[in-house]
Amino acid sequence: MAEYNPFHNGHAYQLDQAQKRADADVTVVVMSGNWMQRGEPALLDKWQRTKLALSAGVDLVIELPFQFAVQPADLFAKGAVLLLSQLGCTSLAFGAEHPQLNFAKLVANQPAHAASHFKRFDETYPTLFNDYLQLQTGLDLRASNDILGFSYVAANQQLKQPLEILPIKRQGSAHQETAIDTDATIASGAAIRQAIKNGQQSAVDQMVSPATATALREDQQVTWDDFWPYLRYQILSTSLADLHEIYQMSEGIEYRLKQAALTSPNFEQFLRDAKTKRFTYARLQRLCVYILLQVNRVELPTEVRYARVLGFNSVGQQHLSQLKKRSELPLISRVSDDWINGPYRLDYQAGLLRQMVSGIDQDRLRHAVIV
């Protein structure tokens, strides 16, 4: 499972280690599409990022459906693990700040019905959840990739045939570190995106492959600033009653969103004005994506209904051929109107939203990338 936003040297290291430890005959990556788990638009679109993944040695890239991609860690992980299992994978590799953590012990001690377990409103849900686990186990689960790792292990344990878990030590700066160490060759995605924003191209070149460096120079990039006018209009023109019906809108946060949209000149200021102790920035950003796409409170499907093929090489093509013979999972390489108006509707809308600001078709005319 990956986002590759963008693909950098840390990802290359993880990929190499995963292939060696699993003795992999085929490497499958389930990758988020045009929106990330924390509610951020992908800097490069899903097709650009697929090309970079394939050029780095990935054999097959499958899109993680929107219904899982822009979600809290537990639902994000559940979708990814279910999809990997149905794609015939036997090992699951992921980066972790502390790969030696006893993830199974943490999973065994998580509270039942966690969403209703924490009623305090002076801390975010992740903080309360992690405090509870630390009290029960003595283990600290605060690092971003460790939290995702915990979620992967929890989801994996729900499978009839669990995958082999391969946590890989995360290299370089912390996940949310926004400064680049010029003496290093690995930096966090957040630091690389900040350096791109600051125009520090030479520093970025040091942290990414030549292919990624070229893409970042030549290909179109998108940020929340591109969507801010659309988001602001949606919030201001939608009634509070209708905003309340948006997926995961709760605790009256729609009132703060309305007020912040009215007075904020840009998206960054909007987030600061809307922030509360209870809501993380990631949760606020995900809400913004749901508002843009008008995703309402109707529960999103929880089952994996298809696999959208974004790209493959000859090894990946052979694996796809085998899957078609033995799997009932629909493999989509090109979307039709039936899919756009049916199971793929949210993914198509998410791509169409990006297409509005980039002018680059995302789904209707696109075929899988072949290397």
Residue 217 annotated as lining a ligand binding site = no
Q: What is the pLDDT of residue 227?
A: 98
Residue intervals of the chain classified under CATH 3.40.50.620 are: 9-218
Residue 170 annotated as lining a ligand binding site = yes
SS (H, E, C) the chain: CECCCCCCHHHHHHHHHHHHHHCCCCCEEEEECCECCCCCECCCCHHHHHHHHHHCCCCEEEEECHHHHCCCHHHHHHHHHHHHHHCCCCEEEEEECCCCCCHHHHHHCCCCCHHHHCCCCCCCHHHHHHHHHHHHHCCCCCCHHHHHHHHHHHHHCCCCCCCEEEEEECCCCCCCCCCCCCCCCCCCHHHHHHHHHCCCHHHHHHHCCHHHHHHHHHCCCCCHHHHHHHHHHHHHHCCHHHHHCECCCCCCHHHHHHHHHHHCCCHHHHHHHHCCCCCCHHHHHHHHHHHHHCCECCCCCCCCCCEEEEEECHHHHHHHHHHHHHCCCCEECCCCHHHHCCCCHHHHHHHHHHHHHHCCCCCCCCCCEEC
Q: What is the pLDDT of residue 114?
A: 59
Residue 5 annotated as lining a ligand binding site = yes
Residue 233 annotated as lining a ligand binding site = no
Residue 314 backbone phi and psi in degrees, to 5: -65, -35
Residue 108 annotated as lining a ligand binding site = no
Residue 9 annotated as lining a ligand binding site = yes
Residue 145 annotated as lining a ligand binding site = yes
Residue 164 annotated as lining a ligand binding site = no
Q: What is the pLDDT of residue 133?
A: 87
Q: What is the pLDDT of residue 261?
A: 98
Residue 13 annotated as lining a ligand binding site = yes
Residue 123 annotated as lining a ligand binding site = no
Residue 266 annotated as lining a ligand binding site = no
Residue 351 annotated as lining a ligand binding site = no
Written as tens digits, the pLDDT of the chain (371 aa) is 899 999 999 999 999 999 999 999 999 999 999 999 999 999 999 999 999 999 999 999 999 999 999 999 999 999 999 999 999 999 999 999 999 999 999 999 988 765 555 666 667 777 888 888 888 899 888 888 999 999 999 999 999 999 999 999 988 655 556 668 777 899 999 999 999 999 999 999 999 999 999 999 999 999 999 999 999 999 999 999 999 999 999 989 999 999 999 999 999 999 999 999 889 999 999 999 999 999 998 778 889 999 999 999 999 999 999 999 999 999 999 999 999 999 999 999 999 999 999 999 999 999 999 99
Residue 184 annotated as lining a ligand binding site = no
* 9-218 fold: Rossmann fold (3.40.50)
Residue 66 annotated as lining a ligand binding site = no
Residue 10 annotated as lining a ligand binding site = yes
